[in-house]
Structure 1
Amino acid sequence: MTASPLADRLLDIKRIYHEPGVDESPRGRQVVERFSGAELIEVPTHQQIPGLYGNAGNVEDWVRIKQEVLVLGEKKSLAARRNERSSDWIAPSTANGCAMACAYCYVPRRKGYANPITVFTNIEKITGYLERHAGRQGTKPEPNQCDPVDWVYDIGENSDCSVDAMVSDNVRDLVDLFARLPNAKASFATKLVNRELLTYAPRGRTRVRFSLMPAETSKLVDIRTSKVADRIAALDDFVEAGYEVHLNFSPVIVHENWRADWSELLEQIADNTAERTRDQLAAEVIFLTHNEGLHDINLGWHPKAEDLLWRPDLQQLKKSQNGQWNVRYKTAWKGRWVEQLADLVAEKLPGCRIRYAF
């Protein structure tokens, strides 16, 4: 792999923490060679990193750690988890963490609050497991909201595959795998336009879900991501390259002018995409869920975002399964807002079906 201007903007890797021996595996060596100037630091496991793991004080260095640190490890537990919302299955991760720093990100900060990228180097075991798993499923018995024909596997639940592809060939290997599977397709959401992915050969078997929100809101909360206009400009190119392209309207953040902003965004999509692209579009709609603990952390590094994300006048508390307090828009209002956005999509972007909304 060679460096790219996009990778150089997001990543300036100075330290690579690695489990014993994984830096000598084929995938591990690829990452080490890609960032040849980085210091190599051996750690017991990718989840036990002195000074990084569980260090809430890292909020002061949030972006710098994402830019300068990588972690190499092996994925020990291989299991596909049922989803039935965006995908039929959540695939075993080939990476977690992200170089971007969206203010609302829900991904667990298991290596410290910055959560830099971890690359899992045992890619052959992961792809082998997925091929066997898909084989056991056979033909999909009936259509569902995930896909009318194929089993859909989300390959990027805990990371952004467009970023991961700048670090190793794990994403290319996954795209190649699903290109040859007769009954399954890959899927991932992204906020980054990585045009290197246009050189892959997905053969219609990988679905890229470009996350979109109104540009002014994105400027405040989508930290270190591609501009919304650039994401829209990439839609036609990814369709031409053989990807299935969907939209991820997420998170929908409610404020006083939110409907006017979304109307403008939907018009931009309609005006800047080809008919071929619009004919195959589908969307998922996810309204903001925020976290009390994340709110407190954000106040330490990005308080302006919290003016949008933390709205007690619009939100209600709900305790999550792990005992943390989340905030969601009040039930009595949210249902009406979902309907209003669905009506806007039908008006401004006709033909784009909404696969699900919540």
Structure 2
Amino acid sequence: MTELLGAEDRSEDPAPGDSPEQVSRLLDVREIYAEPAAALSPRGRQVIARFPGARVLEVGSHWNIPHLHGNEGNADRWVRVKRQTLVLGVRKSLTVRPNGRSADWIAPGTSNGCAMSCAYCYVPRRKGYANPITVFTNIGDVIDALDRHITSLGPKQEPTQCDEERWVYDTGENGDCSVDALISDNTADLIAAFRRWPTAMASFATKYVNRDLLALDPRGSTRIRFSVMPPGDSRLLDVRTSPVAERIAAAGDFLDAGYEVHFNLSPVVLRPGWEEDWTELLRHLDDVLPARVKAQAAAEVIMLTHNRQLHDVNLRWHPRAEDVLWRPEIQQAKRSENGALNVRYRNDVKREGVRRVTELVAAHAPWLRVRYAF
């Protein structure tokens, strides 16, 4: 691989305005693998300027980096790769896909992968032995595709569980927009774009409290979904994320800044004592959330889905997580929408788990409307 840009080429565009302390907790970028067009684009130059000490290495495709994705040894460096590596690419597919669960539609993502290391994350299942953030630099193409799609739909004629009045677009299916905002202005540009579309709103789930997002003025056009689980589960499984209590405590500030604030009860991991711990979490939500947050809040309940390849990778870097994630005695094979073969709880086990979670919500946080559970 060759170095793509010299140091003299890296400072033409400003870096985003996030605090250095906030970035350094998650990212100490030393290598940036970049498609040439991505590196030379305005957004690519912004990212490279953000990390001036990193080597920029040319690659032909962001999906095909043998040193990164095909290197089995990277499983032993799982977290280090996430902290020290970025990938820059140009997004080719700009398709808007129907969803109906988290959102009416899945927007073309502006990133893939994450700097955090949740042991159950589905994104690395197609990426081999490393899952750093890939930033897509053609943000203008993504916004243009969304503009065409939103315009073609016109106003929403009938309510859906996603929203009664507006079309909802998930902008962070394969990444975390709060973390992406530490790297570039992609998230800020999406939030600004959705302000211009009165018939649509953006939505993304996050496990990271990025308070710089409070200054982006969404004006009700962006829904942030804070993912929560019992703190003990989170300490084991949500590696490098914001503590659950911090996510919950931030809800009022984000609502006051103009976001709609929902919650993901996700994933629900079935293990001894799980009902008691979810009860405690729901009681905490009820105790600390302001009335104004409760009045507009809704939630998704998502039972754990896992994967054999991810199980094998986790055994290399975080085997304790697999003590609760990998339970063949109560799991079965599942073919996902994209054709991947995963494992989920057996039908009877999952059905009972969903029933118990929704009962617990009704008993301890009755104000929390469950939009869907699966």
Q: TM-score, normalised by structure 1?
A: 0.97
CA distance in structure 2 between the partners assigned to 1:193 and 1:295 by the alignment: 28
What residue in structure 1 maps to residue 120 of structure 2? 104
Conserved 8 A contact 2:279-2:364 = yes
Equivalence map 1:166-315=2 (5 Å): 166-315=182-331
Shift of 1:294: 1.3
What residue in structure 1 maps to residue 180 of structure 2? 164
Structure 1 stretch displaced more, 68-77 or 43-52: 43-52
**SS of the residue 2:239 aligns to:** coil
**SS of the residue 2:146 aligns to:** helix
**SS of the residue 2:220 aligns to:** coil
Conserved 8 A contact 2:124-2:130 = no
Conserved 8 A contact 1:88-1:153 = yes
Conserved 8 A contact 1:292-1:324 = no
Gap change, CA 1:100 and 1:109, over 3 Å in 2? same
**SS of the residue 1:41 aligns to:** strand
Say yes or no: does 1:59 pair with 2:107: no
What residue in structure 2 maps to residue 140 of structure 1? 156
Shift of 1:340: 1.3
CA distance in structure 2 between the partners assigned to 1:141 and 1:4 by the alignment: 45
Equivalent residue letter for 2:298: A
Structure 1 stretch displaced more, 346-355 or 48-57: 48-57
Question: Quick one: percent identity of the two aligned structures?
Answer: 58
Shift of 1:134: 0.5
Structure 1 stretch displaced more, 230-239 or 330-339: 330-339
CA distance in structure 2 between the partners assigned to 1:346 and 1:45 by the alignment: 48
Structure 1 stretch displaced more, 95-104 or 334-343: 334-343
Gap change, CA 1:109 and 1:294, over 3 Å in 2? closer
Shift of 1:314: 2.1
CA distance in structure 2 between the partners assigned to 1:24 and 1:317 by the alignment: 44
After superposition, the C-alpha distances for 1:86-138 in whole angstroms (9 at most, x for unaligned) are: 11110011111100111001014555422111111111111111112101110
Gap change, CA 1:274 and 1:106, over 3 Å in 2? same
Conserved 8 A contact 2:37-2:90 = no
| Match of residue 78, structure 1, among 94, 97, 104 | 94
| Match of residue 95, structure 1, among 111, 120, 132 | 111
CA distance in structure 2 between the partners assigned to 1:323 and 1:344 by the alignment: 33
Equivalent residue letter for 2:192: D
What residue in structure 1 maps to residue 356 of structure 2? 340
Structure 1, unmatched stretches of 5+, are none
Gap change, CA 1:59 and 1:268, over 3 Å in 2? same
Say yes or no: does 1:349 pair with 2:365: yes
Structure 2, unmatched stretches of 5+, are 1-15
Equivalent residue letter for 1:228: V
Q: TM-score, normalised by structure 2?
A: 0.93
Gap change, CA 1:109 and 1:327, over 3 Å in 2? closer
CA distance in structure 1 between the partners assigned to 2:62 and 2:305 by the alignment: 28
Structure 1 stretch displaced more, 324-333 or 94-103: 324-333
CA distance in structure 1 between the partners assigned to 2:124 and 2:84 by the alignment: 19
What residue in structure 1 maps to residue 12 of structure 2? none
CA distance in structure 2 between the partners assigned to 1:37 and 1:125 by the alignment: 29
Equivalent residue letter for 2:232: E
